[in-house]
Amino acid sequence: MSQRRNRLAAAPLIAVLGLVALAGPAGASGESVGGCMAEHLAEAVEENHGDLEHTLHDEEVQKDLEKCFEAPNPILPETNEIIWGALSFGLLFFFMAKKGFPAVKGAMDARAERIASDLDAAEQAKIDARAVEADYQARLGDAKGEASRLIDEARGAADQLKADLSARAEADIADMRERAAADIESARQQAIADLRAEVAGIALGAAERVVQSSLDAEVQGRLIDAYIDEVAGSNG
Amino acid sequence: MADPRVDAYADALFAVAAAEGNLAAVEDELFQFAQALGSNDDLRAMLADGAVPAARRQQVVEDLLDGRASATTSALVSMVVAAGRAADLPAIIDAMVERSAASRNKAVATVRSAIDLSVDQRSRLEAAIHTSTGKEVEVKVVIDPSVLGGVVTEIGDDIIDGSVRRRLNQLRESFR
């Protein structure tokens, strides 16, 4: 800001130095050599009442004409130029001081303010971006935590399911084994019963045949006598 | 007796046999015939078959009993069969035998044995039953080979089983 202000202040000074340095040679009146000579010559002719011949030979006139050929000061301008230049500079400086500089200053201030505002906005945006990033990081962390929790839950559920299935399978196997053992035992008992019945049938058939072959008339008679004695021995 | 017709037929048979004067023989023959009929399903079904003419059924009875029983027994059985009561014939004969025994103040003891009992054995058995039950009985022997040996006595609803078959059955039960 201060650098811009220094540049604005140096501008009029540079303009003055340029005006002094670049002032070209000019006559006292600020006219050309021909004009100077014509002006001096006309004044001399008028003073001599129109006698041109006499005028041209007048030494005073010649000195004046020769003065028209003399070069002006290369540094100092003519007084009138200085006056006009000073007036112009003052007028321009006044105008610039009253109108240009406040406008430029206002524009610069506005721009500086806008830039500051932009910087503030950028800073705010940066802060917001950091907040968003922090929020994003937090959300990302939460999401990672949630994902980790879900994975853990899924893993736990899978382990539980695996354990349940394993336990159920073991229970089923144990039940099947128990039923198979019961079936085997039942079949074994049935086979034993069948075998026993068959053996009993065979044995009884053999016994019946033996009894039939041994029951002759004498034995039959003894059996009947024994029966009669048994009935007689029983009372009621 | 539950069935009055069975009772009536039994009375008729008893009366005819008594009138003919050979009650004991007819009673015994009828008893044997009733036992044979009870063990022969085909004969019992044929005699009770209404589709077979009565004359044919009577002829079968006469052929069966000809030479094995008295004319009175044959005529009585033929009469019952012709009347269409062959299915009730065992019950009628049992009732008739009981009535006959009752006329002598005795009950009937049906004795199943693989062989026939001697007269002495019968009398001793009647005495033994009297000693055991206090009842005066008449022994009616049924030859039943399935008894194998020993005796099975039935007095009304009472059964005194001393057969070899029962011993074998008890042995069979013990195996189970």
pLDDT at residue number A12 = 56
Reported as a pLDDT band with limits 50, 70 and 90, residue A38 is confident
Q: What is the DSSP string of B132-156?
A: HH---EEEEEEE-GGG-SEEEEEET
Reported as a pLDDT band with limits 50, 70 and 90, residue A99 is confident
The first and second tokens of residue B18, run together, are: 């008594």
At B119, which amino acid appears?
V
| pLDDT, tens digit (0-9, with 9 covering 90-100), for A133-162 | 898 888 888 889 989 899 999 999 999 999
pLDDT at residue number B39 = 81
Q: Which of A214, A230, A142, A177 is nearest to B148 (CA)?
A: A214
Shortest CA gap A221–chain B (Å): 8
Q: Which of B162, B148, B165, B170 is nearest to A200 (CA)?
A: B170
Shortest CA gap A182–chain B (Å): 21
Q: Max CA-CA distance within chain A?
A: 225
pLDDT at residue number A45 = 84
**How far is residue B170's CA from residue B162's CA, in Å, rounded to a whole number?**
12
| pLDDT, tens digit (0-9, with 9 covering 90-100), for A165-191 | 999 999 999 999 999 999 999 999 999
- Please give the backbone phi and psi of residue B113, each rounded to the nearest 5 degrees, phi first: -150, 155
| pLDDT, tens digit (0-9, with 9 covering 90-100), for B101-122 | 888 888 889 999 999 899 999 9
Rg (CA), chain B: 17
- Please give the mean pLDDT across all residues of chain A: 82
At A164, which amino acid appears?
D
**How far is residue A174's CA from residue A160's CA, in Å, rounded to a whole number?**
20
Interface of A with B (CB under 8 A): 193, 196-197, 199-200, 203-204, 207-208, 211-212, 215, 217, 219-221, 223-232, 234-236
SS3 A38: helix
**How far is residue B43's CA from residue B21's CA, in Å, rounded to a whole number?**
29
**How far is residue B51's CA from residue B98's CA, in Å, rounded to a whole number?**
32
What's the whole-number mean pLDDT along residues B8-29? 90
pLDDT at residue number A25 = 45
| pLDDT, tens digit (0-9, with 9 covering 90-100), for B125-158 | 999 999 888 888 989 898 888 888 899 999 888 8
**Residue B41 clears pLDDT 80, i.e. is over it:** yes
pLDDT at residue number A78 = 79
Say if the Cβ atoms of B148 and A235 lie within 8 Å: no
- Tell me the domains of chain B and their CATH numbers: 4-100 (1.10.520), 106-175 (no CATH)
Say if the Cβ atoms of B176 and A196 lie within 8 Å: yes
The answer to whether the CB of B116 falls within 8 A of the CB of A216 is: no
Q: What SS3 string covers A171-183?
A: HHHHHHHHHHHHH
| pLDDT, tens digit (0-9, with 9 covering 90-100), for A193-231 | 888 888 888 888 888 888 888 888 888 898 999 999 988
Per-residue exposure over B2-21, b if at least 16 CB sit within 10 Å of its own CB, e if not: eeeebbebbebbbebbeebe
- Please give the mean pLDDT across all residues of chain B: 88
Determine the straight-line distance between the first and last CA of chain B, rounded to whole angstroms: 40
Say if the Cβ atoms of A234 and B132 lie within 8 Å: yes
**Residue A132 clears pLDDT 60, i.e. is over it:** yes
Reported as a pLDDT band with limits 50, 70 and 90, residue A49 is confident
Detail the DSSP E strand segments found in chain B. 107-113, 137-143, 150-155, 158-163
ipTM over 0.90: no
Would the CA dihedral through B148, B151, B153, B159 be positive or negative? negative
